[in-house]
Amino acid sequence: MLFSACRRGAAAEGSDCTLFSIRIVHHWVVLLLSFLVGLGSLAALTPNQVLVLYNSKAADSEAVYQYYAAARPGVLGFDLDDATLGAGTISYADYVAKIRNPLRAHLVATALQEEVVVFVLTRGLPHRVRDISAGDIGDNPTGAYNRINAGQATYASVDSELTLLWQNLEVGENNGVMDSAADNNVLNPYYNNSNPVTNYSRSSITSTKKFVQVSGPRWQMRDTQNGPSSTPGSICLTARLDGDSLVAVQGLIDRGVGACYDPQTDHIIQDKDVSNSTIDAGDLNLSAQYLQGSWPSFTYEQTNTFLIGMTGDLPGGNAGTQRFAGRVAALTGYGGNHAGGSQAGFQATYRDQLARGAIYNGYESFNARRFGGVGGYSDHGQLSEWVNVGGTFGVGSAWEPLASGIPRNSALLRNYFLQGRTWVEAAWSSSYYLSWQMVVLGDPLAVASFNCPPAASLSAVGSLCESSGSQTTVTVTLTAPCPVATNVYVGFSGADLPGDVVVTNMAGGMVVVPANSSSVSFVVEAVPDEVAEGTEMLEVSLQVGAGYTVGANASVALPIEDTRFGEWRVTEFGGAANSPEALANADPDGDGLVNLLEYAFSLDPHKAEGGRLVKVEADGAGNCVVSYVADPGKIDLSYALERSTNGVDWTALATVVNPAAPETETRQAVRSTGQAVREFYRVRVVPLP
């Protein structure tokens, strides 16, 4: 589905194209590439100005907060603590009662009203607010278009609504035409602004503003009825750490913290559709004017050809597409609204081509829709899918925004790459409206870096089992070789060192990547012991150090299987698996069979069982057959049939498997009954090393 008003083939397309209003204050003087390196120092936002909203009643939500707080020490947290608050879509009344009002109360109670600038929403929190009177109308492009033109649209993203946290936009709302400030949208005072948002006083952020209707229809926020527009100090900024899984979001955070670009090799792609150029209203041309001179790998495709990456094919075929082979710093343009092969899955074709910090901005209506399990519109690129394929940042819409509500590339890329703004500042400077559909994905505090140390990642080959003392080889890999030897620090948790495992090729929790090399390996070996533990999990993780960053694959989990007998003890004795009654030579049921024999012959150690393990039977031919039943699944044991004439000295007998019962591996030896010497028989069971 393409977005209404300016999508191809829509009857009403032309009318909304007039809603575009790109303000060009002056022609930007393109910066020299050499100046890019130092711009990060201009970022003014600090972690203590960021408040992460999470819900402890949703495990992933709290886990995202904890992970981000560890990645960005100093960020603040607020627990909504609400079992009734779920992901996806929420009513306007519930947004007010369960998010807005509790957040206001928390900020007042902690005196943080003027201090907190950015709210971060986590996986598990809703991202869409339904229309007060028309419910999910924002999912219907035609219905949304009509409702917006009538001045009655109150649907929005949670994220955009929170930018005006201190304003009661819904006051007076009665499904009339522009009867409340919740109808349609509010002009963003930070739009196209390159200054740090903290340059503006926040002393009046909690004061009630005046909302004056301007053409559109839309609202302008003012401090006084006849005064100028309120300043950016009157709003908050928002970002979202979200994705299809906790692991995906953790990778998103890792990449955001270490976002880094090489303009010589990392491409900014602007993929325009010349047959449908009214959508961007000149935005891509302006963006190219800003960036082409300072970004050597700037790719501006201006035909009907749709660019896709090098991995896989589109589900509907690749007609009208062209492969792009370079590494990607930003993928922008018409996305699912592009002619020529615009189908579900185009983002996935760029897997393994994305720079650490890759941005997505598609001119699509519903590309921020599918968080929280909300389905549909798979032909639009989705921010959630961007995370899955290794993307780091993105902007998009939760509901139908119309063409004028699409984030502007010219402000987004200029302010992030050239002006040194934090990601959240650059993203919100690209939005023409507040109280509308925008979702900003990714670490808000990230700043583009252009002096990139290599990123380190972990991989592992092999398995660990105490029965065999097996080994796993763990490899540390840098994304690029260093000219000098690099010390990489590795931590272990979840199992005991050196009790459960020993590590070789490592000293002091550190491995050394040799100069001009990009990898080094170390070996983890399981240590057999007499302790019954069941399967343990050893977590191997990269630690922060000089000369490298921690990459997306920052840890590996290595299961350590216990001996089979140890697993059996845990199953049979539970928490008492290491008590005296559970040891190999103990006989807790008093039947004369110790636990090792109970295990070997699949018996119950808690129940005295009669019968003999060794059977002696006549074969009708003057011989006796001595036999026992071995368990072929007990590959950790050695069984041996032994004989003695005095009960003291024992020798092994050769045995064969009874062909009549091979599935149970009945092992037997034939003895002549004509012997004058009395014989004793036993089965000896020995654990294998």
First to last CA, the chain: 63
Question: What is the average per-residue pLDDT within 571-599?
Answer: 83
Peptide bond into 498 cis (omega under 30): yes
pLDDT at 103 over 90: yes
pLDDT tens per residue, range 167-178: 999 999 999 999
Identify the pLDDT of residue 165: 98
> Tokens representing 641?
């049939």
**pLDDT > 90? residue 27:** no
- Which of 121-135, 347-361, 551-565 has the least mean pLDDT? 551-565
What mean pLDDT comes out for the span 289-298?
95
Across 391-408, average pLDDT: 96
Amino acid at 235: I
SS3 559: strand
- The pLDDT of residue 566 is 76
Residue 278 has pLDDT above 60, yes or no: yes
- Tell me which residue of 527, 474, 534, 525 sits closest to 503, measured CA to CA: 525
- DSSP assigned state of 224: S
Percent of the chain with pLDDT over 90: 55
Given this model, what pLDDT does residue 506 score? 87
Distance CA 48, CA 331 (A): 31
Most confident of 161-170, 272-281, 555-564, 667-676: 161-170
Model confidence at 664, pLDDT cuts 50, 70, 90, reads low
The average pLDDT across 615-624 equals 79
pLDDT tops 60 at residue 16: no
Q: Could you tell me the two tokens for 51?
A: 């408040």
Instruction: Report residue 38's pLDDT band, with 50, 70 and 90 as the boundaries.
Output: very low
Higher local confidence (pLDDT), 68 or 534 = 68
Band (676; pLDDT cuts 50, 70, 90): low
171 CB neighbour count, 10 Å cutoff: 12
Report residue 572's pLDDT band, with 50, 70 and 90 as the boundaries: confident
- 């343009």: which residue's tokens? 333
Query: Comparing 521 with 619, which gets the higher pLDDT?
Result: 521
Overall pTM surpassing 0.85 (yes/no): no
**What order do you get walking across the sheet with 536-543 strand by strand?**
464-465, 555-561, 536-543, 486-493, 510-513
Quickly tell me which residue has 């955001």 as its tokens. 256
pLDDT recorded at residue 2: 35
Strand 327-333 with 354-362, pairing:
parallel
Element containing residue 102 per DSSP (H, E) = helix 101-109
**pLDDT tens string 590-600:** 888 888 888 88
Q: Which residue, chain included where needed, has tokens 């023409």? A: 432
φ, ψ of residue 43 in degrees (nearest 5): -60, 130
Greater confidence (431 vs 681) lies with 431
* Cis-peptide, bond into residue 580, ω within 30° of zero: no
In angstroms, what CA-CA distances link 501 with 67, 494, 526, 554? 27, 11, 4, 20
Q: Please report how the helices 246-257 and 59-71 are oriented relative to each other, as an axis angle in degrees rounded to 10.
A: 20
List pLDDT tens digits, range 637-658. Answer: 888 888 888 888 998 888 888 7
